[in-house]
């Protein structure tokens, strides 16, 4: 597939990769495990590109940014960098591994480029007073109690606790115009990783200590690029209501109004499926055509409308 | 200055930023010191852009990648990533801070974008058997003797030792075509940071544990982009022969042949000025018009040909 096939003027699709499509168990797998998981995900993405979809990629960074934070706190010899700089680092850490895996799948196509991306947030966002975004490793209750930072129960099982940081709403992508031009000109782009680097614009741009939700940032990116489809890839084929209970039920095709009703009824896991569903609803409300939640192995079938949670206006 | 003023078809100039134009003392300054130094450097770069130069930026990463290595080795809880991934992280760490500082200076211009860049090296490069590239903090002789990694005396003074890693020759930029298109289309780009992420191409792309010299990578980038000028910014106004001795003498205007003779006579510091001079000579030998070594505060004067070490065919 040559360069020109990307310059067809079709609307792009934005594919957002969840942590589990990139990493081993809870972000603590070895680099070899990571490379294997990323290669598997890249194969699915490459399939969609070879089928003619103009894919723009974005990804989460919760475990990775948490690891960087722990590492710099564990060593007194080196200066500590603020969270916005660490989010930047994860954009290249993950973007590099993804672009390399994709280049290896798509040998006849132009190379993917990873673009460092800042996202504007509101300095008065109430999230700065109420940290909710889980990052880094999972802890037991007693481990969590010993930490010097704020932790919260975000899962079930033996290790349900994680560090939490503020997660303000993304308002605007600083590099939005440049990204739009890159995508229009046929570049294969990885962008807005980890929700984007959180900055405020008070006279000048300035980084702030937060991690923006990657699903919300993916929706902003998809709307900004006038994408027709937003695909959120995670570890399940469908979004479910009453997940992990006897009443569990997959959601197949539904309207944003129906999905909004499930959201309002609190039927999704707060740190996991809820932001994904919210991003899908917002995308359609802001004139997107279709939003899909599924897992990487079902990507092609989901793009064909045959599986996954499909949301349409 | 609007978007169109960049699409004039003039040849770009590549500006390579040395560690001291980005960081406080030996890479151990606080983030506030870093932000101040970067803002000062960005002001000089912005001046050149406002004067009409099509600037492509690149930068070193020695202290930063060394810090990341120390941090991950100091914490057992998180997985260790190989050196290529850490180089990637520094591209976004430094690229982000630079692009933000430049965006703040150039409010009427399109935003800078930082592109994660892989560079191909030869798996049989003898450098893999002989680590020479200094990274990370500086140590005293006794501190160095206690380290579990290879160190080498690379400077004078109380703390002359640093960790050394392999530094193979850069052969090709993986994203070279994409970068050429971006620059031709008027994007302001930060690329090939830290010498590029070292990869080999044996069937597929694969990262390797090394740090490519940023001056050599900057030359490769400048030649690949058909830049007419390569500017290497460091902490001195000129390259000197017999630096820091009573016979110290600045080099002003000279031919690549004259400069090559000084190189062959071993008149430059091996880990500091020697690779910069080598990069300048190679750039002219490979059909570049002009190479310049100076410090950020003399950038505009040096572009006007009025100061700095000026090398022309």
The reported pTM is 0.94
Which residues from chain B sit within 8 angstroms of residue A116, using beta carbons?
91-92, 95-96, 99, 113-116
Q: Say if B230 is an interface residue toward chain A (CB within 8 Å).
A: no
- Contact list in A for residue B81 (CB cut-off 8 A) is 31, 93
C-beta separation of A212 from A121 below 8 A: yes
A215 φ/ψ angles, rounded to the nearest 5 degrees:
-70, -40
Q: Which residues contact A266 (CB under 8 A, 6 or more apart)?
A: none
Question: Taking CB atoms and an 8 Å cutoff, what residues of chain B touch A46?
Answer: none
Q: Does A187 touch chain B (CB under 8 A)?
A: yes
Question: How many CB atoms sit inside 10 A of residue B305's CB?
Answer: 12
Say how many C-beta atoms besides its own lie within 10 A of residue A9's C-beta.
Answer: 7
Which of the residues A57, A96, A188 would you substitute to probe the B interface, choosing the one with the greatest number of B C-beta atoms within 10 Å?
A96
When CB atoms are compared, the residue of A75, A85, A110 closest to B178 is: A110
Q: Quick check: is B146 in a domain?
A: no
What does the pLDDT look like over B37-84, one tens digit per residue?
999 999 999 999 999 999 999 999 988 999 999 999 888 888 999 999
Structural domain contains residue A151: no
Interface contact B177-A111, CB threshold 8 A: yes
Cα–Cα nearest to B222, from B183, B260, B168: B183
Predicted confidence at residue A77, as pLDDT, reads: 83
Ordered alpha helix ranges (H), B190-265: 214-224, 256-264
Mutate to test the interface with B, among A38, A89, A92, A97 (most CBs of B within 10 A): A92
Contacts of B96 in chain A (CB under 8 A): 84-85, 88, 116, 118, 197, 207
Terminal CA-CA length for chain A:
33
Spatial distance between the Cα atoms of B293 and B230, rounded to a whole number of angstroms = 9
A164-214: pLDDT as tens digits: 999 999 999 999 999 999 999 999 999 999 999 999 999 899 999 999 999
A118/B115 Cβ within 8 A: no
* A116 vs B: CB within 8 A: yes
Q: Does A137 touch chain B (CB under 8 A)?
A: yes
Q: Tokens at residue B127, please?
A: 């450098």
Query: Measuring CA to CA, which residue among B220, B211, B166, B194 is closest to residue B91?
Result: B194
At A275, give phi and psi (nearest 5°).
-65, -30
Concatenate the DSSP letters of all residues of A211-263 into one string. Answer: ---HHHHHHHHHHHTT-SEEEEE-SSSS-EESTTSTT-EE--EE-HHHHHHHH
Are A182 and B182 a contacting pair at CB < 8 A?
yes
Q: How confident is the model at residue A26 (pLDDT cuts 50, 70, 90)?
A: low
Angle between helices A62-73 and A83-105 (to 10 degrees): 130
Give the pairing of strands A112-115 and A229-233. unpaired
> How does pLDDT run across A40-99, given as a tens digit for each residue?
999 999 999 999 999 999 999 988 999 999 999 888 888 999 999 999 999 999 999 999
CA distance B280 to chain A (A): 28
**How far apart are alpha carbons A16 and A234 in whole angstroms?**
9
Answer whether residue B149 is part of any domain: no
Domain span including residue B233: 12-120+173-312
A2 lies in a domain? no
CB contact under 8 A, A199 and B115: no
Q: Which CATH number goes with the domain that contains A40?
A: 3.40.1160.10
Catalytically active residues of B, by annotation:
19-20, 133, 214, 276
Helix or strand run (H / E) with residue A283: helix A273-285
A114 touches chain B (CB under 8 A): yes
- Tell me the residues of chain A between 234 and 293 that have a Cβ less than 8 Å away from chain B: none
User: Which token pair is B229?
Assistant: 């000028």
The total number of structural domains in chain A stands at 1
Q: What is the pLDDT of residue A1?
A: 36
Nearest to A18 by CA among A239, A266, A300, A232: A232
pLDDT value, residue A23: 85
Q: What is the rounded distance in angstroms from the CA atom of residue A187 to the CA atom of residue A265?
A: 41
- Give the single-character DSSP code of A185: T
**Cα–Cα dist B302/B281, whole Å:** 17
Question: Domain for residue A125, yes or no?
Answer: no
Residue B176 to residue B220: CA distance in whole angstroms: 10
Q: For residue A276, indicate whether it is catalytic.
A: yes
Contacts A–B by Cβ distance under 8 A? 168
Interface pTM (ipTM) of the complex? Answer: 0.93
A150-173 pLDDT, tens digit each: 999 988 889 899 989 999 999 999
Residue B188 lies in a domain: yes
Answer yes or no: is B209 within a domain: yes
Q: Would you say residue B127 lies in a domain?
A: no
């Amino acid at each position: 597939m040559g360069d020109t096939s990307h310059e067809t003027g079709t609307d792009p699709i934005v594919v957002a990769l969840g942590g589990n499509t990139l990493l081993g168990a809870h972000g603590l797998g070895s680099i070899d495990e990571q490379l294997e998981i990323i290669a598997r995900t890249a194969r699915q993405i490459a399939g969609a590109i070879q089928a003619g979809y103009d894919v723009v990629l974005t990804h989460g960074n919760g475990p990775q940014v948490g690891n960087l934070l722990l590492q710099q706190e564990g060593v007194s010899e080196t200066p500590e960098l603020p969270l916005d700089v660490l989010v930047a680092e994860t954009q290249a850490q993950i973007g590099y591994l993804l672009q390399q895996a994709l280049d290896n799948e798509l040998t006849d196509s132009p190379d993917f480029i990873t673009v460092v991306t800042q996202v504007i947030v509101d300095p008065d966002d109430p999230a700065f007073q109420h940290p909710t975004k889980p990052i880094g490793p999972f802890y037991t209750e007693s481990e969590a109690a010993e930490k010097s930072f704020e932790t919260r129960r975000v899962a079930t099982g033996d290790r349900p606790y994680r560090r939490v940081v503020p997660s303000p709403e993304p308002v605007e992508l600083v590099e939005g115009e440049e990204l739009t031009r890159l995508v229009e000109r046929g570049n294969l782009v990885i962008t807005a990783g980890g929700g984007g680097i959180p900055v405020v614009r008070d006279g000048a741009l300035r980084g702030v200590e937060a991690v923006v939700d990657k699903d919300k940032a993916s929706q902003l990116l998809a709307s900004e690029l006038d994408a027709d489809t937003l695909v959120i890839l995670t570890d399940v084929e469908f979004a479910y209501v009453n997940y992990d209970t006897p009443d569990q039920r997959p959601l197949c095709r539904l309207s944003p109004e129906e999905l909004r009703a499930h959201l309002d009824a609190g039927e999704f896991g707060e740190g996991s499926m809820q932001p994904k569903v919210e991003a899908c609803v917002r995308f359609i409300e802001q004139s997107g055509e279709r939003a899909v939640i599924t897992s990487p192995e079902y990507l092609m079938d989901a793009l064909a409308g045959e599986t996954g949670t499909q949301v349409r206006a």
